[in-house]
Chains A and B, each alone.
Chain A
Amino acid sequence: MIAFCIILLIADSQFNIFSSARVYLNSIVSPIQYVADAPQKMFSAASESLTTRQVLMERNALLEKENLHLKADRLLLGELQKENEQLRELLNSKKQFKNKRMIAEVMSLRSDPFTHQVLIDKGALDGVYLDQPVINEKGVIGQVSQVGSTTSRVVLIVDASHGIPVRVQRNDAVAIVHGSGAWDKLTVPFVQSNADLKEGDVLVTSGLGGHFPAGYPVATISRFEYQEGELYANVTATPAAELDKSRYLLLLWNDDPLAGADLTLDSPE
């Protein structure tokens, strides 16, 4: 039995044999997950239905105002998008901005204490796939690490095993952001001492890895330190999205990351 367990451990960690079987295995245990999640769902549903009319009206007014602002922004966005498309056509480099997306709800269950994961209520039946990017309204959350038929696991960008290619929004310098294992800290390794990075710089996805679509905010740099004599600078960043507080996430379908990319190296003339 012990030998069997050890074989199982090695098989799962080193060779990833169970990645396809995990879909079925995860579906077997998902009833337990639904049972454990049910009380909280019920409480939040109850508290939602018990709000007063006054609160609802205030909230409605607030949302309507916000909606108006967002719609106004969107008018401009449509115009900008058209302009961008025209400019890109002139440069012969088309780029797609529209992705299929889906809202998923976080099931706030306990996960493995050594890693940072969350469970979401969408799975293979909804078309979720492995390594799928996950964002919320503020920025990148992480990517799908395990898929079940109706639930899946998202490994967060702060997980110690997670890395994501980024670029600095200000000057397009590329870098990689690694998780640190703490909820609100990311590290940026291998940064030269003279690199043009400043505290407060916004890092956005560069799309280089092929998993994440380009242009979503990931983090802001919180500290840039270089000690004389060291090989690289010591850079840390704070995630843009509030990872431990978001309840609704967006799954993105990043069908073909290189579809719109201009792979030829010669100039457009």
Chain B
Amino acid sequence: MSPFNSYKIIYFTFFICLVAAIFPLPVSLNAFRPEWMVLVIFYWIIALPHRVNIGHTFILGIMLDLLLGSTLGMHALLFSLLAYFTSINFQRFRNFTLFQTTLLMGVFVFVLKVSLYWIASSIQVIVLHQSYFWSIFTSMLIWPCFFVFMRFVRLQFKVS
């Protein structure tokens, strides 16, 4: 498939995940929302490291910052770091089993959440809610299904 058509699919999945990241949920379920952006960035970087790079993830991070109304650069910084770390290790991560990548996803989301909290607490007065870390588990739960689905999408539309 031509690069243009591949990018169409890739950007479309990014768009869907951005929408999912801010989609209105009841307050009680809000804490259980998986970190869609981490999942989608991780998937595309392992699958197509020559298509999705740090620049993309930086833009996505800025967009998420704007959508959430948080300080500009918070998510951009962390997504760029995530993309960097994933892209230098993508060959290793490709050979991981699904179970191993699930654990890895848990670690990533945990590090992301801790650093987000750390950055936010160093620049403004904030309050940490007890349910803040629940999304780690939902992200890990959803990752295998997400991975299989995304691979189906990639093969179906021959994104390369």
Contact = CB atoms under 8 A, between A and B. Distances in A.
B114 interface: no
A36 B73 contact: no
Given A9-B119, A32-B19, A115 B69 contact: yes
B24 A40 contact: yes
Given A32-B63, A114-B126, A181-B127, A6 B77 contact: yes
Interface in B41-75: 54-55, 58, 61-63, 66-74
Contact of A12 (B15, B73, B128): B73
A26 B24 contact: no
Q: How large is the interface on B (under 10, 10 to 19, 20 to 34, 35 or more residues)?
A: 35 or more
B71 A110 contact: no
Nearest to A118: B69
Contact of B124 (A18, A161, A180): A161
B22 A109 contact: yes
Interface in B18-38: 18-19, 21-25, 27, 30, 33
A73 to B, nearest CB: 34
A33 B67 contact: yes
Given A36-B19, A160-B126, A119 B69 contact: yes
B58 A114 contact: no
Nearest to B122: A13
A25 interface: yes
B23 A9 contact: no
B73 A160 contact: no
A1 B80 contact: yes
Contact of B69 (A35, A146, A182): A146
Interface in A1-23: 1-2, 5-6, 8-9, 11-14, 18, 22
B127 A110 contact: no
Contact of B22 (A32, A145, A182): A32
B145 interface: no
A119 B66 CA distance: 12
Contacts, number: 112
Given A33-B22, A36-B23, A111-B68, A6 B73 contact: yes
A181 B125 CA distance: 9
A13 B123 CA distance: 7
Nearest to B26: A108
Contacts of A111: 68-69
B19 A35 contact: yes
Interface in B67-112: 67-74, 76-77, 80-81, 84
Contacts of B61: 5
A70 interface: no
20 contacts: A1-B80, A5-B73, A5-B80, A6-B77, A9-B74, A9-B77, A14-B123, A22-B72, A28-B66, A36-B22, A37-B24, A39-B23, A109-B67, A112-B120, A113-B129, A114-B128, A115-B124, A115-B126, A119-B69, A181-B126
Interface of A: 1-2, 5-6, 8-9, 11-14, 18, 22, 25-26, 28-29, 32-33, 35-37, 39-40, 107-115, 117, 119, 145-146, 153, 160-161, 180-182, 244
Q: Which 10 residue pairs are nearest across A and B when measured between Cβ atoms?
A: A181-B127, A8-B73, A5-B77, A114-B126, A112-B70, A12-B72, A9-B73, A13-B123, A108-B24, A160-B125
